[in-house]
Chain A
Amino acid sequence: MSVSLGLPLDLILGTLVLWLILALVSLTTPRYPWITRALFPIGALGGLTLCVAGLMAVGQAPIVRILPLGLPGLPFHLRLDALSAIFIVLFGATAFSISLYTTGYLQREHYPAVARMALQYHVLLASIALIFLADDAYIFMVAWETMALSSYFLIVTDHHTAAVRKAGFLYLLIEHVGALAILLAFGIMQTPMHHGIETGYTFHAMRAVTLDTGMASAAFFLALLGFGAKAGFLPLHVWLPEAHPVAPSPISALLSGVLLKIGIYGLLRVVFDLLHIQIWWWGVTALVIGLATALFGAIYSAVQSDMKRLLAYSSIENMGLIMTGMGLTILFISYNMKVLAALALTATLYHCLNHAVFKTLLFLGTGSVLHATGERNLGKLGGLIHRMPWVAFVMLVGTLAIAGVPPLNGFVSEWLLLQAFLGATLFPHPYLNMAVPLGAAVVALVAGLAAYVMVKFYGVVFLGRPREPRLTKATDAGPWERIALTWLAVGCLLLGLFPTVIISIFQPTLALLIGHLPTHGAMNGNWFLLAPTAVTQASYMPVAFLGAICLMVLVTFVFVRLLFHRRIRRSTAWNCGYPLLTPKMQDTAEGFGQPIRHIFASFLRVRRLLPTPNDNMPIYSSQVEDRTWYALYLPIAQGLIWISGFVGLLRRRRIAIYLLYSFVTLLILLVFAP
C-alpha cells in the first residue's frame, strides 16, 4: 500500500481536533439549540473516521508519536498499536451510531441543556480516543480524568432530581478510587529515571523493566482494582445499576457500550503488554471474579423491573464473561499454552466487540421506548410491537444476540469461550484440571439465564397487550434513530455471520499480547467455517446455519401453503375458554422473574410488603435489593463513622487544647530533628 505510515494516527488526531472544535462551537451557541443539534451528525462522521483508521492500523506496525504538549520536559507520548486499534474500531463504530441517534433524540426530547450536553459529549468522545492512544502514564491519567469528569456531568444531565445527583456522586466516587489505584499501579511499574535515556513515566520504559513477582502482583492487583472499578466487576459494580437508569439513553448506551470496555482495555494493556510475567494464580483470581460477576449479574438482571436497570445488570454479567475469558488467557499463558491462550483471548476480544454492539443497540432501543411512552417500568409497558414495529424488529435482533443464540454474534464469543474451557484440562496441576471445566458450567448457566432475562425483557415490553391505555399513542422512532439502530443490528448480524473475518483482524493483536504463535494455529477454516483447531475437533458455520434455517422455513412455508390453503380466521384469544381477558392478567416483570427469586432466594435480599387482613387499601410489593450494599458497603461506612467518632474526641472546641496540640507537635518535631 502506498499510504503513508502515520495516516491512521493522523486521521484519529484529526477527529480528536474535530470533536474538540465541536465542543467549543456548542459552547458559543447555547442560544441556538438547532446549531447544537446539527453538531451531532458531524461528530458521527468522526466516529466513522475512527472506525476506518482503526481498521487501517490493525495490521500495521505500531505508530509512535510525541506531542509537544504537556509540561516542559514531560511531553505526551502517543502510540497506535494493534490493541489500541481494535478498541478504536469498537469505539468508532459505537460512537457513530450513538451520535446519529442523539441527533434524532434531541429533536424529539426537549432537554434544557442541549448545548451543555453537546459540549460534554464531544469532550468525552475525545478523551476516550486519547485513552486508547496514550503511551505514557501522564497523558493516560489526564485523559482518564477528563473521561471521568465529562461522563459524570453527562450522567447528571437531569441534575434537578436528588436521585440523579446521588447516582452521579456514587459514580464519581468509585471512578476516583479506581483512578487512585491505577495511578499507584503505574507508580509501581515505573522505572527510576536513568540519565537522559528514557523518562520513567512512559509505557515504553515500563515495558523495559522486569519486576519481581511481589511487585508485579501488587501492580496486577492495583490495576485489577482500578480498571475493575471502571469495568464493574464484583463488588465494585454498584455504580452501574444506579448510573445507567438516570443518564439520558444515548449516554447510558455509551457508558455500557464503550466506557466499560475501557476498563478491559486498561487491564489488557497492563497485564499483557506492560508486565512481563503472568502468574497462574492471577488467572485463577481473575477467573473466579469473572464467573462470580457473571452469575451475580445474570441473577440480578432476572429480577429487575426497570428496563435500564435490567440492562445494567446484564452489562455486569457480560463484563464477567469477558473477565472469565481474560482469566483463562492468563492461566494458559502462565503455563505457556499459547494456542489455547490465543483462543481464550480471541473469545475475550470478540465478546468485547459483541457486547459493545448489542448493548448499545438495546440501550438506544430502550431510549426510543422511553421516549415514546415516558415509562421505564416494565410492568407498565407491553404490546409495543404493534405501535413501534421498527424498534421492535431491531430490538428482536439485539435480544437474540445477547441471549446467545446462533447465528447471531453473542453465540460466537460464548462458543469460543466454551471451546477454550474444553482445552483447560491439560494443566500440570490435577486440581486445576478438575476445577476449571466447572467454570464452563457456570458460563452455560449464565447463558441460560441471559436467555431467560431477554425473553422477559422483550416479551414484557414489546409483546402482549398494552398494560396502560396511553401506550396506544406511542409512535415509532424517527429517521435518525432508525439509521443508528439499523447500523447496530446489521453489526450484530455481520459479527455473527463472519466470525473468521473478525478473528483474522484480531491476529496482530493476539501476536502483540501473547507473542507469535508457534503455528498460525489460532484459526483453521475459511470465511464461512469457524474451526479453532481442526474441523474434526470443533466447527461452526454461521452462514450455512442461517441459510439452512431460512431455506427450510421457506420450503416449509411454500409446501404448507400449496397443500393446505385454509383461510386464517381472526378471533378473540382462546385462553382455555376463559372469556374475560384484561392486560393485567399477563405476567409482569416481577411475575416473570418469580421463579428466579424462588430458586436463588439465598442470593437475593428481598423486601416484601405484606399487608394485614384488616387493611382497607392493601398494597403488596416485593423489592429486590443488592446484597453487596448490606454485606460490604454499609459495614464499611459504619466502620468509618465509628472511627470518625474517635477523631471527634480530639476536637474539644477550646482554643487552649488546640494550642496544646501545636505545642506537642512542635516538641515531637524538635526531638526527631536531625
Chain B
Amino acid sequence: MNTHDIPLQLTQFVLVITAAPLLGGWVAQCRAWLTNRPGAGLLQPYRVLRKLFNKDPVVAHEASLLFRITPYIVFGGMCLAGTIVPMFSTGLPFAPVADAIALVGIFAFARIFSALAAMDVGTAFGSMGARREMLVGFLAEPALLMVLFTPALISHSTSLTTIVISLTTAKLVLYPSMAFAAAAYAMVLLAENSRIPVDNPDTHLELTMIHGAMTIEYSGRYLALIEWANAIKLLTYTAIGIALFIPWGISRSGNWEDLPLTLTILFIKVTAAGFALAFVEMLLAKMRLFRVPEFLGTAFMLAVLGLLVHFLLGA
C-alpha cells in the first residue's frame, strides 16, 4: 500500500458517487433517442435527486427503525463497492478490503437489507417485491460466481486488481473462455440491476415490478438515497465488467501523469457500455417472472461452458 495512492483512491470515491447518476441519465437518453423521443437530458437524474431530497419523507405508522436506516446502509454498501473496483488504476489502497467474492457479498448485504425493509411495513406489494428480488438474487449469485471463476482461474487470483494486471499483460489478447463469461456477465448485469428483460426500471405497473415494489413505501430523502445507490450499483457493475473483459487502459499504481488519459479511456468505455445497455433494452421486452430462472439458468450454463472451455483449451 502506497500512501501517495490515497488521493487516487479519493478521486475514484468522489468520481463514482458524483458521476453515477450521469450513467443512468445517459442510458435513459440513449433509449429515448433509439425510440425516437427527445428524452429528458443527461442531467435528469440529478434533478430527480434534488426534488426528492427537498421533499418531506412520508413514513408509514408501522415502519420500524430498520425501514429508516436501510437506505443509508444500502447507500453506504454501494459506495464501498464502487470504491474498491479498479476503474482507472490498479493502485487503489482500499482494494484488498474485498476481493471479487467479497464484492458479491456486499451486493448480497445490500439486497438482504432492502428486502427486509420492504417487508417491514407489511403491505402486499412490499413482501411481493422482497420475494421476487431475493428470487432474482439467489439465481444470479451462482451465475455471477461462475463468471468470476473463469478470470480467477486464468490469473490464479480472486483479487480484481491482480485479475486486471494479469489480463492486460497476458500473451493472449482474447481468451475464448472469457467470451462465454462476458455473455453470461451481461445477462447477470441486466438481472441484478433490474433492467429489461428481467425488470423494468421505468414502470410502476404493480403486478410486474420487482425492484419498484420493494421501494414502493419510500419517499423523500430515503427514496433519493435508494435511487442514488442504484445508480452507483449500475456504474459499479459496468466497471467490474470493464475490468474483467476490456481491462486495457487501466493504469498501474501511482501514475498521476496517466490520469487524464485513463479517465478519458474509462469515460469512453462507460459511454459505450451505457449505449450498449440501452440498445439491448430497446430490443427486448420484459419477460414473465417465471421465465427469469430460465434466463439466469442460461447465464449460468454459459459461465460453466466458459469454465469448461478454459480447461479444454487451457486458455
Contacts and interface: CB of A to CB of B under 8 A. Distances in A.
Interface in A229-248: none
Given A425-B153, A437-B149, A541-B96, A451 B108 contact: yes
Interface in A430-461: 430, 433-434, 437-438, 440-442, 444-445, 447-449, 451-452, 454-456, 458-460
B145 A418 contact: yes
Given A448-B142, A540-B98, A463 B120 contact: yes
Interface of A: 382-383, 385-386, 396, 400, 403-406, 411, 415, 418-419, 422, 425, 430, 433-434, 437-438, 440-442, 444-445, 447-449, 451-452, 454-456, 458-460, 463-465, 529, 531, 535-541, 544-545, 548-553, 556-557, 560, 563-564, 566-576, 581, 583, 585-587, 591-592, 594-595, 598-599
Given A405-B108, A549-B73, A553-B72, A536 B157 contact: yes
Interface string B206-227: 1000000000110111000100
Given A433-B311, A549-B80, A595-B131, A455 B123 contact: no
Given A455-B116, A459-B115, A585-B124, A445 B142 contact: yes
Given A538-B157, A560-B53, A573-B121, A451 B130 contact: no
18 contacts: A386-B64, A400-B109, A404-B108, A433-B311, A440-B145, A445-B141, A455-B134, A463-B119, A537-B157, A553-B73, A568-B56, A568-B59, A573-B122, A574-B60, A576-B206, A587-B119, A591-B127, A594-B131
A419 B105 CA distance: 14
B271 to A, nearest CB: 27
A575 B124 contact: yes
A577 B34 CA distance: 33
Contact of B123 (A449, A569, A581): A581
Given A405-B105, A560-B53, A573 B217 contact: yes
A571 B109 contact: no
Interface stretch (B38-46, B158-166, B170-178, B194-202): B158-166
B80 A537 contact: no
A566 B56 contact: yes
A619 B226 CA distance: 41
B249 interface: no
B124 to A, nearest CB: 4
B270 interface: no
A434 B311 contact: yes
A599 B292 CA distance: 10
A419 B99 CA distance: 11
A575 B73 contact: no
B59 A571 contact: yes
Interface residues of B, number: 84
A566 B225 contact: no
Contacts of A572: 60-61
A599 B108 contact: no
Contacts of A451: 108, 111-112, 134, 137-138
Given A455-B116, A463-B66, A592-B127, A441 B304 contact: yes
B14 to A, nearest CB: 12
Given A444-B141, A573-B122, A400 B112 contact: yes
A545 B121 contact: no
B25 interface: no
Contact of B138 (A448, A540, A552): A448
Contacts of B145: 418, 440-441, 444
A560 B127 contact: no
Contacts of B83: 548
Contacts of A563: 53
A643 B123 CA distance: 57
- The 8 lowest CB-CB distance pairs between A and B, nearest first, are A448-B138, A464-B122, A552-B76, A459-B119, A587-B127, A465-B122, A573-B60, A444-B142
Contacts of A425: 153, 311
A433 B68 CA distance: 47
A596 B79 CA distance: 32
B141 A406 contact: no
Given A385-B66, A560-B53, A586 B98 contact: no
Given A405-B108, A422-B152, A566-B54, A591 B131 contact: yes
A548 B79 CA distance: 9
A396 B115 CA distance: 13
A545 B112 contact: no
Candidate in B53, B68, B77, B153 with the most chain A CB atoms within 10 angstroms:
B77
A463 B64 contact: yes
A440 B98 CA distance: 19
B119 A464 contact: yes
A250 to B, nearest CB: 27
B257 interface: no
A567 to B, nearest CB: 6
